[in-house]
Amino acid sequence: MIDRYKTPEIDAIFSDVAKFSRYLEIELLVVDALAKMGVASSNDASSCRSKAPVVDVALVQAIGERELVTNHDVAAFVDVIQARIADPSAKWIHYGLTSSDVVDTAWCWMMRDAADVIITELSLLIQDASALARRHKDTVMIGRTHGIHAEPTTFGAKVALWAMQLDRDRIRLRDAREMIAVCKLSGAVGTYSNISPDVERHVGAALQLKPVPATQVVSRDRHAQFLWACSSLASTIEMIAVELRHLQRTEVNEVREGFRAGQKGSSAMPHKRNPISAETLTGLSRVVKANAGVGADNVALWHERDISHSSAERIVIPDSSTLSHYMVRRLRSLLNSLEVDTESMKRNLDSTRGLVFSQAVLLALVDQGMNRDDAYRVVQEASKRSWEKGTSLRDEILADPLVKVPVAVIDSAFDVRRAIDGAQLIVNALDTIQS
């Protein structure tokens, strides 16, 4: 991942130093298990652990140099580790294992930890969105369908629905975390022919990973589920970002992204304040969604294994994890600095002079005994006159000779409080979100 979108928490999981540190710990845990079983001695296990090198940038570089000879990254890793231990006990490093035992267990370990980081940040985003929704539970605005004014709603209801969708993404991520929190140390083609299942159980217990049946590799439907959960989260963030971009348009002007002192919206036009965070989130979502397709393609491998998945996973798993975390954090910043222009919301609501209450008027006429189709035509024609003449829908309805309804009934149909009270039910549903 390019530095621009890295987060230190995720980078600490997927960096080369972190990856090889996990490889080494898996190898050492295997030796511990072999000693526990009496295959290796306790002195061998102690010697391997005490003499094992610190994994740092220099060690990673040494592994890279060795790979130029072996043309195999795990073989290079094993060679370098054994050489650094420099003791007969080093023969137990990688004993009975195949590369995928180490690599797949490490991948699952890394993805589980990445999921935890993303879920922690997502929980904070859900709290922030919920607080914003409650703060604006009575902030009335126009609802739009097909981009056209529909009926009144509240900004709080809009944001509450975002928070609830983010919570569903959190559920999906938690499910994916459980699906990926597994390990596999069953040797070539997964038959335990050269290594005992006790080794797998020992390593799994130490790393809090569940041993699972496998071929030579962990089934990639698990990885695909993780990438899909990241994709779903990215889609939700994109949905929110696109809505905020629309609401910030000059002719709408209902919300604005925060603008720091010294910030420039355009290199050419000093007046510009652009929705840069929302646009960035929209673009990054495309990458995460595309990566989910790669995850699905990686499920179909040849026989007990091939490595067609490997090259792609080195890119898409760290990148999707990084971008998911970055996007959640960027959206938190956006929402926490968001400027909500309640006056613009009211002006936009009032701009059609009551047309947005047409359904309430229709139902009021029906309630007073008018045939529905007749009532529909009356309101439709009155709306047309209101639009063309620049008059209010209320006045056009009351002036229509076909309307024989008390004024108080018509006035009630134009009461925005009805929408606010109804939208409050949506905000109240935030109470059902489990932390």
* pLDDT tens for each residue of 299-334: 999 999 999 999 999 999 999 999 999 999 999 999
pLDDT at 270 over 90: no
Compute the average pLDDT of residues 67-73: 96
> What is the pTM assigned to this prediction?
0.94
Q: What is the pLDDT of residue 241?
A: 98
Instruction: Calculate the average pLDDT of the chain.
Output: 95
Q: What is the pLDDT of residue 389?
A: 94
Q: What is the pLDDT of residue 435?
A: 82
**Dihedral (CA of 232, 233, 234, 238) sign:** positive
Q: What is the pLDDT of residue 259?
A: 80
Q: What are the residue numbers of the active site?
A: 146, 266
pLDDT at 167 over 90: yes
| pLDDT-based confidence at residue 272 (cuts at 50, 70, 90) | confident
The gap between the terminal CA atoms of the chain, to the nearest Å, is 30
Round to whole Å and give the CA distance between 201 and 227: 27
Q: What is the pLDDT of residue 260?
A: 80
Burial of 63-83, coded b for 16+ CB within 10 Å and e otherwise, reads beebbeeeeebbebbbbbbbe
Q: Are 310 and 300 in contact (CB under 8 A)?
A: no
Q: What is the pLDDT of residue 237?
A: 98
Among 151-160, 338-347, 401-410, which stretch is predicted with the lowest mean pLDDT? 401-410
Q: Are 35 and 89 in contact (CB under 8 A)?
A: no
Q: What is the pLDDT of residue 157?
A: 97
Nearest Cα residue to 389 out of 432, 339, 353, 423? 353
pLDDT at 265 over 90: no
Nearest Cα residue to 201 out of 176, 216, 215, 182? 182
Element (H, E) at 114: helix 99-135
| pLDDT-based confidence at residue 103 (cuts at 50, 70, 90) | very high
Among 239-243, 273-277, 283-287, 427-431, which stretch is predicted with the lowest mean pLDDT? 273-277
CB atoms within 10 A of CB 404: 10
pLDDT at 243 over 90: yes
| pLDDT tens digits, one per residue of 213-229 | 999 999 999 999 999 99
Round to whole Å and give the CA distance between 339 and 138: 16
Q: Are 17 and 56 in contact (CB under 8 A)?
A: yes
Return all residues near 8 (Cβ < 8 A) that are at least 6 apart: none
Q: Are 171 and 432 in contact (CB under 8 A)?
A: no
Q: How far is CA 430 from CA 126, 164, 311, 336, in A?
A: 10, 7, 42, 18
Q: What is the pLDDT of residue 269?
A: 82
Indicate the burial class of 392 (C-beta count within 10 angstroms; 0-12, 13-18, 19 or more).
middle
Q: What is the pLDDT of residue 125?
A: 98
Among 111-115, 130-134, 151-155, 263-267, which stretch is predicted with the lowest mean pLDDT? 263-267
| pLDDT-based confidence at residue 264 (cuts at 50, 70, 90) | confident
| pLDDT tens digits, one per residue of 28-54 | 999 999 999 999 999 999 999 999 999
Q: What is the pLDDT of residue 267?
A: 74
